[in-house]
Amino acid sequence: MTNIMLEVKNLKKIYDELGPSPKIALDDLSFEIKNNEFVCIMGPSGSGKTTLVNILSTIDKATSGIVNISGASIVGMSGAAKAKFRKKKLGFIFQNYNLLDTLTVKENIVLPLRLSKVTVEQNKFERIVKELEIKEVLNKYPFECSGGQLQRVAVARTLIMNPKIIFADEPTGNLDGVRSKQLMQYLEKINKNRNITIVMVTHDPLDAAYSSQMYYIEDGKIKNHIIKGDDTFEEYFS
């Protein structure tokens, strides 16, 4: 059993490679993320953060390079194999929550199970609801909930599938300071208690302070890698 959750080697992404103005979004990235890390990715707008997370989470395809998640190479996988792999191992949290307006909170949370034709385990459901403190909104519709509640519901929806790794692109992007802090505390708890690796893009150093390490990217290259406990980490985030 290896302790590596995510392995990236010589990863490149070029948009419009054959067009008149190709854009190198990721320029030969290599790094490894160990199991149970809480990694954050920072960098200026346009530096390649979303591109990176989309490729790591199998939503987008690399131009070249290697990506292994939990020992499996996702680069060579067929579309169907990827979809299956996503369901089994990956969790997602989006800036805009991506909940369905016409379903109640409860229906939203169990939707991935329904779509996979898996029975909802009541105990598990209740544990997640308790952990994220969303009991009082279960029968409400998304429009009746606050942003903080919506994001917790989105976290619950992804937890119900038992992911090994959760990808989050600016999950606090639509939240105010207090709600951002709350969400980070929930994510920290999930990371610690459930042995789930988290890879999160953020532009907010206050969010990043909850992570165990930070990659700073600029122009598609890793410019800095800081690990919690290093002097530089404390300097960066205090």
- DSSP three-state, residue 116: coil
Question: Partners of 42 in the beta sheet?
Answer: 216
Of the residues 5, 6, 25, 129, which one makes contact with ligand ADP according to CB under 6 A: 25
- Residue 50 interacting with Mg ion (CB under 5 A): yes
Of the residues 3, 45, 78, 102, which one makes contact with ligand ADP according to CB under 6 A: 45
d(CA 92, CA 69) in angstroms, rounded, equals: 15
Instruction: Please state the closest distance from residue 6 (CB atom) to ligand ADP, in A.
Output: 18
For the chain, the maximum distance between any two Cα atoms, rounded to a whole number of angstroms, is 56
Residue 171 binding target from ligand ADP, Mg ion, none, CB below 5 to 8 Å by type: none
- Residue 43 interacting with ligand ADP (CB under 6 A): yes
Angle in degrees, CA 161, 182, 199, rounded to 5: 50
Give the nearer residue to ligand ADP in terms of CB position, either 45 or 123: 45
Of the residues 49, 152, 157, 179, which one makes contact with ligand ADP according to CB under 6 A: 49
Residue linked to tokens 């995510």? 6
Residue linked to tokens 């990659």? 215
Binding mask 169-208 for Mg ion (x = CB under 5 A): ----------------------------------------
- Residue 211 interacting with Mg ion (CB under 5 A): no
Instruction: Please state the closest distance from residue 119 (CB atom) to Mg ion, in A.
Output: 36
Q: Which tokens in the block code for residue 207?
A: 């969010």
d(CA 92, CA 35) in angstroms, rounded, equals: 17
d(CA 232, CA 154) in angstroms, rounded, equals: 33
* Footprint on this chain of ligand ADP (rule: CB under 6 A): 15-16, 23, 25, 43, 45-51
